[in-house]
Amino acid sequence: MFEHKRNRLKLIQSLLILFVWILLLAIPVLFNRSQNSQAGTDWVKIFRIWEEYSLLFVAFLINHFILVPYFFLKDRRGLYFVLFGVLMLTLAGAMILFHRLGAPEIINPGNQFPARPGFQEPMPGRPLPGAPGGRPGQQPFVPAYANMVIISFLVLGFDTGLTFSIKWLESQQKQVELEKENTQNKLAFLKTQVSPHFFLNTLNNIHALIDINTTEAKDAVVKLSRLMSYLLYDSQTELIALKKETDFVKNYVELMRLRFSGKVEISLNIPDNLPEVSIPPLLFISFIENAFKHGVSYKKDSFIAIQFDADKERLWFQTSNSNHSKTVKEEKSGIGIENSLKRLELLYGQNHILEIKNDDVFTIKLGVPL
């Protein structure tokens, strides 16, 4: 993904540079035609201007392939600007020499004002104002090579700025990709944390069932195999059908019913009209485990209620359980809940709703966007 975006940025950079050079080559042609609409295009002058562009092109190559990547982008910008200044001075000297050898001027050949109505044409043999031999104090226009030096400065500056912008965008996209990859790694880690924690509790449940009812223990093993299949295969994807997730919850709750029998009032409400959507797998199991872990007492009446619901915008999940105080020994860890909170934050950011009430009845209510 990052390489694809990087290549696209490189293509944009190349197209912009190509556009600038096409524009530079086209300007002398368009200007010459506008100045000599009657006489036609003076291709001799145009080719001389293009020859002068070859000096700029060499400077462009030096800047683009040497100065920018090895100095400007390597945080050696002080040295870059020194070398850039040397390059510009060398280029200016080459252009001055080129013009002294007889190159035509790009803009306003002859450095003369265009004739305007109301201005007197010069008499034969009389020099133009500002030309050599003209009235004292009159200065000529800026020589044409100065225009080329300015154009060269703009082109090289544009190349440096464009290359820096492309590199900055690449670094930003790379940072986004790294953050995304880091998030995926965190989610995978948290998911692997869920599985051992879940199996530990479930195996303890089956161990307890073996002493109580062997037949039910066998049924529990079958249900556990279904849960293992879900954990090992179905839950490895980013998203899972809501129906599969609720079936997983149903199998887990049935397994818990086998263990606690009539000692705990357990209710599970999964409406038939839940939307056919996909959600991240193992989204609710830690909250359900928490309800069974902390909501069951062998000395007091206990209950656990699990409810699913949905509206147009969100899927709602709620667990309610009797809140029995636990000893320090029994409260070993809250790994499941802690990991679920981290996972929800990574998956949904601020776009999920989580309410936890720790009163006589411990309630967790979760709403995730559909």
Residue 235: closest CA among 178, 190, 302, 173: 190
Q: Are residues 247 and 332 in the same domain?
A: yes
Instruction: Determine the pLDDT at residue 182.
Output: 64
Nearest to 13 by CA among 176, 159, 156, 174: 159
Establish if 282 belongs to a structural domain. yes
Task: Give a yes or no: residue 72 inside a domain.
Answer: yes
- To the nearest whole number, what is the mean pLDDT of the chain? 78
pLDDT digits (tens, 9 = 90+) for 256-302: 787 776 778 899 999 988 999 999 888 888 888 888 888 887 778 88
If one counts every other C-beta atom within 10 angstroms of the C-beta of residue 40, the result is 9
For 63, the enclosing helix (H) or strand (E) is none
217 and 163 in one domain? no
In a domain, 187, yes or no: no
Q: Is residue 102 part of a domain?
A: yes
Asked whether residue 69 falls in the same domain as residue 157, the answer is yes
Q: What is the DSSP letter of 60?
A: H
In a shared domain, residues 171 and 221: no
In a domain, 69, yes or no: yes
| DSSP track, 175-243 | HHHHHHHHHHHHHHHHHHHHHHHHHHHHHHHHHHHHHH-HHHHHHHHHHHHHHHHHHHTGGGSS-EEHH
Contacts of 300 (CB under 8 A, 6+ apart): 322, 324
**14 or 1: which leads in pLDDT:** 14
28-48 pLDDT per residue, tens: 888 877 776 666 677 888 888
Rounded Cα distance between 13 and 5, Å, is 12
Residue length of the chain: 370
Same domain, yes or no: 133 and 256: no
Task: Give pLDDT tens digits for 310-345.
Answer: 998 899 999 999 887 554 344 444 556 777 787 888
Residues 221 and 359 in one domain: yes
> What is the span of the domain harbouring residue 170?
2-114+121-175
The verdict on residue 80 lying in a domain is: yes
Among residues 287, 51, 228, the alpha carbon closest in space to that of 148 is found at: 51
Question: Is the pLDDT confidence value at 204 over 70?
Answer: yes
Tell whether 243 is covered by a domain.
yes
| 150 and 270 belong to one structural domain | no
For residue 159, the tally of other CB atoms under 10 A from its CB is 21
The pLDDT of residue 135 is above 60: no
Per-residue pLDDT tens over the stretch 41-71: 778 888 888 888 899 999 999 999 999 999 9
**Residue 37 within any structural domain of the chain:** yes
- Residues 230, 356 within the same domain: yes
pLDDT on residue 60 = 94
Q: For the domain that residue 312 is a member of, what is the CATH number?
A: 3.30.565.10
- pLDDT for the residue 7: 81
Half-sphere exposure of 364 (CA within 13 A, CB side): 21
pLDDT for 194: 55
C-alpha atoms less than 13 angstroms from C-alpha of 239 in its C-beta half-sphere: 8
Q: Does residue 234 share a domain with residue 313?
A: yes
Block residue for tokens 């295009």: 41
| Global pTM value | 0.51
Q: Which residue do the tokens 């703009």 mark?
A: 154
Does residue 162 share a domain with residue 26? yes
Across the range 135-149, mean pLDDT stands at 60
Residues 141 and 266 in one domain: no
Residue 189: per-residue pLDDT: 57
The domain boundary, picked from 129, 146, 175, lies at 175
Q: Is 56 helix (H, G, I), strand (E, B) or coil?
A: helix
Q: pLDDT tens-digit profile of 147-197? A: 888 999 999 999 999 999 998 888 888 777 767 666 665 656 555 555 565
How many domains is the chain partitioned into structurally? Answer: 2
| Per-residue pLDDT, 154 | 93
pLDDT at 159: 92
Of 107-111, 172-176, 239-243, least confident by mean pLDDT is 107-111
In this structure, the answer to whether residues 225 and 130 fall within a common structural domain is no
Instruction: Supply 3's token pair.
Output: 């390489």
Of all residues in the chain, what percent carry a pLDDT higher than 90? 26
